[in-house]
Amino acid sequence: MTIENDDLRAAVSAGLLTEPQAASLTKLADERRGYRAATAQIDEPFELFKGFNEIFIVVGLIILYSGWTAITGIAAFTSSAGKGSSFLIYGAIQLGVVGLMTAYFTLKRRMIAPSIVLSIFFGLGALQIGFALIQITSAPETMSMTVAVGIAAVALMFYWYFFRIPFSLMLSGLAVFAFAIGLSSSGGADISGPSDLFLLTTGWPFSLITISLGLCAFFIAVRFDMSDPHRVTRRSANGFWLHVLAAPAIVNSIALTLYSNPTLISLLLLTLFLILIALTAIIIDRRSFLISGIGYMIALIFTVVDGGYGMVVLLIGLGLVLIGSNWEKIRCKLMNALPDFKAKDKLPPWNTTAKD
């Protein structure tokens, strides 16, 4: 009988092994068998749910939350104590209940889909508290969204710290991004459209915020990946969701800036940039980084560019199909061709003798 990485991940989720123990066992097994045999069929692990029971629970949680918001909303608007105080109390209750449910479904039952949904509910509760505080303190309405997402960002960071739900780490990153954009807007900058968030040629700071936070998320994600190169612990899942956050910010900011004024030089630079992104995704072995970035870029091309995008989308699709069908072969040859560098041995292992 052979114990595979999926078995170790299941053992960690069930609480039979700790994350360091699982990583150590995987490393020992790979060293005994050799990386070639151990990683011949390696793939990027991804799970949204473990079984239909989790979907069943998610449906119940959504219906439960809908009923809660309906009841508390009516109660707040009819309360003599004022909407602000009522929403603050109900928001605090919501955070407490969500915390207790997370302790059960995440820490005890080790369920993935309910943990994701509860993370969203926790973030919404923190937003509600932020808006309630604005009403109670009579702060300027123009700052209401900024303050609310700032409180949500802090709350979600504490939530991730206690429960270690990877998806909540991405939500906290989104909240930080929204908070930074809100601060810039309060300083006089105005968003006229989605292109302002990505086009570096605009005079506003929004695109600089986007790419800066994207790069920060990317480097943090890589650190998580390097701490778990065999991808058997939640550190790898943290990296996955941060890559999903980072890729659109980085890819869209550069690619759409180059594509906004299509000249021969800019299109050549765009092609080279997309090749660089593809090579980066292959080196770190993150298909999620490549697909999420390219996917968002295609969506925004349709949004901000008038005509002329058909050929670009066609070439991107062709490139993705070719890369995906030959991922391991390409990665093996690329990693073998790269010179040794300090962190190379911390990247996911590759098949050093992959065949064509």
Distance CA 206, CA 184 (A): 7
Angle between the N-to-C axes of helices 144-163 and 113-137, in degrees from 0 to 180, rounded to the nearest 10: 140
Distance CA 329, CA 337 (A): 12
DSSP summary character for residue 98 = H
Which H or E run contains 118?
helix 113-137
- From the list 272, 216, 276, 274, the residue with the least C-alpha distance to 246 is 216
Amino acid sitting at position 213: L
What is the full per-residue pLDDT of the chain (356 aa) written as tens digits? 566 666 777 777 677 777 667 767 766 666 555 443 444 445 666 678 778 899 999 999 999 999 999 988 877 666 655 677 888 889 999 999 999 999 999 998 889 999 999 999 999 999 999 888 888 876 666 677 888 899 999 999 999 999 999 999 999 999 999 998 888 877 666 666 677 777 787 767 888 889 999 999 999 999 998 888 878 778 888 999 999 999 888 988 888 888 777 677 877 887 788 788 888 988 998 887 888 767 666 766 666 566 666 777 787 788 788 888 888 888 888 988 888 878 888 888 886 554 44
Distance CA 288, CA 103 (A): 28
CA dihedral 175, 180, 182, 185 (to 10 degrees): -160
Q: Where are the domains of the chain?
A: 51-188, 194-356
Both structure tokens of 315: 């070439």
Rounded to 5°, the CA angle 291-292-294 comes to 65
Q: What is the DSSP string of 206-248?
A: HHHHHHHHHHHHHHHHHHHHHH-TT--SHHHHHHHHHHHHHHH
Q: Which residue has 């008038």 as its token pair?
A: 306
